[in-house]
């Protein structure tokens, strides 16, 4: 091969790899890999003993991700309870998917393997994991041998508002709701005068409104603003303790490390959600200890909501792509080449806007009075913090000089030219508006659509000045 031919070949390769003209060949991107629902593999299920409210961890491989379907855990075998009785078990549950190799399942709200749900015992059998794909496919793991002992536990018999026809144990409610709780301990012998059981109810003052009647003191002077509030209930018969807003029973009160004394409970209400949030998980911690020191404990979790929440999972939809703009001078590579970096000099600013698609029929399917008057015309009256929900200030302009995506650098070869381009894209962030009742019933109210903006940079290179960009042409995708 002659020197002239070799030089021409090298120049041709450089031209095709660095942009060139529109007539140059651009290799198309490889096709996206086809998704396949794989057969999961269970390797470990631990620990081997749980109390109600504690979690089982399952380790393995190829557990389905949330974007492609659901994962189901199936327990199949026999339960031997503490009374010497047995019953067959075929129980299915939806676990928490931590990643493709880790699941977590909560034993809740009782001993689900037992026929009555309230006996200690041992489950012996297998764990099976099912991948249920959105495409209808199902893949089962091989049965994994597994046994589980049930430890002394506290079972929540009631966890709900004192008003309204709610189910016994709820997981969601509203701010400021008067609450009641009933807890039964299993695995401890029933209380008696000589052998009482002491229940300890703990509330965080930041999460709950708890006030008391204490002699002639103003209840607000006893209630702390922060930290733990503990109510001690010593029972002398049975295995159950209860606590409720406006109750007429006395408890031994402990605030932080200070023992206050016997007091009546005046208020027990869910707290207020901070301004920077749309919902807030709160807990009630309960422990029971008998006279021998044997104990059980549980943490009861409740999520409190505004009358409506914004549920946004990060989905953005491209609405419009604008024509690329050249935002730098044409830069020569010179005789030896040069490194170039882009810095935003002429920024672009766009306004974020909000729009709503309402589910008109939803208003009649929730509890009357659950939503503020006029809220359908003024969604901000629902108390939703849209900025927190979407993760950006919805009232602020989006500006290209604050976009992290515009950081770009490159190298120009000798004799080559370069130019930076910027492309503006309009995107819709779509969140679901969910309404809630005091009993935790969720109703889809519609959608909140935030119009947002993003910017894409490009370093175009070639042997003409200015070189053309490889960014896509303008196109409208959605109104």
- In angstroms, the CA 263 to CA 215 distance is 8
DSSP 8-state assignment for residue 10: H
Could you tell me if residue 13 is inside a domain?
Answer: no
User: How far is residue 14's CA from residue 385's CA, in Å, rounded to a whole number?
Assistant: 53
Give the model's pLDDT for residue 31.
Answer: 64
- Averaged over successive runs of 10 residues, the pLDDT of the chain (479 residues) comes to 41 39 48 82 97 97 92 98 96 96 96 96 98 94 97 97 90 94 96 96 93 62 74 95 87 76 86 86 96 95 90 89 92 90 80 85 50 59 83 87 74 92 93 89 88 91 93 91
Q: For position 264, what pLDDT does the model report?
A: 82
| CB atoms closer than 10 angstroms to residue 444 | 14
Task: Give all strands (DSSP E) within 112-238, no chain letters.
Answer: 121-133, 138-140, 144-150, 153-161, 172-174, 179-186, 197-204, 208-213, 228-235
* CA-based nearest residue to 425, from 390, 451, 397: 451
pTM attached to this predicted model: 0.74
Count, residues in the chain: 479
Token pair belonging to 211:
């006030």
Same domain for 325 and 362, yes or no, is yes
Which pLDDT score is estimated for 369?
42
Give the CB-side neighbour count of residue 77, counting CA atoms within 13 A. 19
User: Is 103 in the same domain as 182?
Assistant: no
The answer on 112 and 135 residing in a single domain is yes
Instruction: Verify that 319 and 261 share a domain, yes or no.
Output: no
In a domain, 264, yes or no: yes
Structure tokens at 116: 């009555």
Residues 193 and 329 in one domain: no
End position of a domain, from candidates 275, 305, 335: 305
**CB contact at 8 A, 421 and 457:** yes
- Contact predicate 105/123, CB 8 Å: no
129 and 89 part of one domain: yes
Tell me, what CATH number does 71's domain have? 2.60.40.10
CB 448 within 8 A of CB 350: no
Do 135 and 158 belong together in one domain?
no
In eight-state DSSP terms, residue 96 is E
Residues 296, 330 within the same domain:
no
Specify the number of domains making up the chain: 3
CB within 8 A of 476, min separation 6: which ones? 319, 320, 321
Residues β-bridged to residue 127: 75, 144
Spatial separation of the C-alpha atoms in residues 230 and 263, rounded to whole Å:
12
Strand pairing report for 353-358 and 442-462: antiparallel
Domain annotation covers residue 14? no
Looking at residue 159, which CATH number applies to its domain? Answer: 2.60.40
Residues 204 and 265 occupy one common structural domain:
yes
Let me know whether 272 and 355 are in one domain: no
Give me the pLDDT at residue 23, please. 40
Asked, for residue 4, whether it belongs to a domain, the answer is: no
* Count of beta carbons in the 10 Å neighbourhood of residue 296: 23
Say if residue 415 is preceded by a cis peptide, omega within 30 of 0. Answer: no
Specify the pLDDT at position 362: 61
| 367 belongs to a structural domain | yes
**Spatial separation of the C-alpha atoms in residues 80 and 124, rounded to whole Å:** 8
- CA angle in degrees (0–180, nearest 5) for 37-40-46: 150
Quote the pLDDT of residue 17. 38
- pLDDT number for residue 7: 40
Say if 383 falls within a structural domain.
yes
Q: Give domain status of residue 19, yes or no.
A: no
Q: What's the start-to-end Cα distance of the chain, in Å?
A: 58
Same domain for 261 and 329, yes or no, is no
d(CA 381, CA 387): 15
* Cα–Cα dist 328/105, whole Å: 55
Contact predicate 38/138, CB 8 Å: no
Among 120, 151, 182, residue at a domain's last position: 151
Rg value, the chain, Cα: 31
Cis amide leading into 12 (omega within 30): no
Element (DSSP H or E) covering residue 387: helix 386-390
C-alpha dist (Å) from residue 8 to 3, 93, 169, 249: 9, 67, 78, 95
Q: Same structural domain for residues 135 and 267? A: no
Position 324 scores a pLDDT of: 94
Q: Is 198 exposed, middle or buried (0-12, 13-18, 19+ CB in 10 A)?
A: middle
Domain span at 204? 154-305
Taking the CA atoms of residue 244, residue 369, residue 307 and residue 364 in that order, the dihedral angle to the nearest 10 degrees is 120
Domain presence at residue 35: no
Whether the link from the prior residue into 109 is cis, omega within 30° of 0, is yes
Q: Is the dihedral of CA 324, 327, 330, 332 positive or negative?
A: negative
Q: Which residue shows structure tokens 């600013």?
A: 349
- The encoded tokens of residue 104 equal 């977590």
| 102: phi then psi, degrees, rounded to nearest 5 | -150, 125
Last residue of some domain: 104, 128, 151?
151
């Amino acid at each position: 091969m002659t020197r002239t031919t070799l030089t021409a070949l090298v120049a041709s390769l450089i031209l095709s790899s660095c942009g060139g003209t529109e007539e140059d060949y651009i290799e198309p991107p490889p096709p996206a890999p086809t998704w396949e629902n794989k057969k999961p593999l269970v390797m470990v299920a631990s620990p081997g003993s749980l109390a109600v409210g504690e979690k089982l961890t399952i380790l393995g491989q190829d557990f389905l991700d949330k974007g492609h379907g659901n994962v189901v855990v199936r327990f199949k075998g026999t339960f031997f309870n503490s009374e010497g009785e047995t019953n067959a078990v075929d129980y299915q549950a939806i676990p928490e998917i931590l990643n493709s190799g880790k699941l977590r399942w909560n034993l809740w709200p009782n001993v689900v393997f037992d026929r009555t749900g309230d006996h200690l015992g041992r489950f012996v059998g297998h764990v099976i994991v099912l991948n249920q794909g959105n495409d209808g496919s199902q893949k089962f793991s091989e049965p994994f041998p597994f046994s589980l002992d049930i430890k002394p536990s506290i079972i929540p018999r009631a966890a709900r508002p004192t008003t309204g026809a709610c189910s016994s144990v709820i997981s969601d409610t509203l701010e400021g709701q008067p609450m009641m709780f009933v807890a039964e301990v299993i695995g401890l012998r029933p209380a008696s005068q000589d052998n009482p059981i002491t229940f300890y109810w703990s509330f965080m003052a930041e999460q709950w409104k708890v006030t008391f009647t204490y002699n002639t003191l103003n209840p607000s002077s006893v209630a702390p603003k922060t930290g733990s509030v503990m109510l001690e209930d010593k029972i002398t018969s049975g295995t159950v303790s209860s606590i409720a807003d406006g109750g007429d029973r006395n408890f031994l009160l402990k605030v932080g490390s200070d023992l206050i004394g016997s007091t009546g409970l005046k208020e027990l209400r869910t707290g207020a959600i901070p301004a920077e949030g749309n919902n807030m998980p709160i807990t009630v911690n309960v422990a029971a200890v008998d006279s021998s020191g044997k104990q059980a404990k549980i943490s009861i979790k409740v999520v409190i909501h505004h009358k409506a929440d914004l549920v946004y999972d990060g989905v953005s939809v491209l609405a419009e792509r604008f024509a690329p703009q050249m935002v730098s001078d044409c830069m020569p590579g010179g005789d030896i080449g040069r490194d170039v970096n882009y810095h935003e000099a002429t920024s672009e600013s766009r306004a974020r806007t909000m729009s709503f698609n309402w589910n008109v029929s939803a208003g009649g399917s929730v509890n009357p009075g659950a939503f503020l008057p006029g809220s359908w015309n003024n969604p901000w009256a629902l108390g939703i913090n849209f900025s927190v929900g979407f993760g950006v200030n919805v009232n602020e302009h989006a500006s290209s000089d604050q976009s992290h995506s515009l950081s770009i650098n490159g190298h120009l070869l000798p004799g080559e030219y370069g130019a930076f381009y910027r492309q503006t894209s309009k995107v819709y962030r779509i969140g679901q508006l969910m309404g809630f009742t005091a009993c935790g019933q969720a109703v889809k109210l519609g959608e909140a659509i935030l119009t947002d903006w993003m910017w894409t940079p490009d370093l175009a290179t070639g042997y003409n000045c200015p070189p053309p960009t490889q960014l896509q042409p303008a196109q409208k995708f959605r109104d």
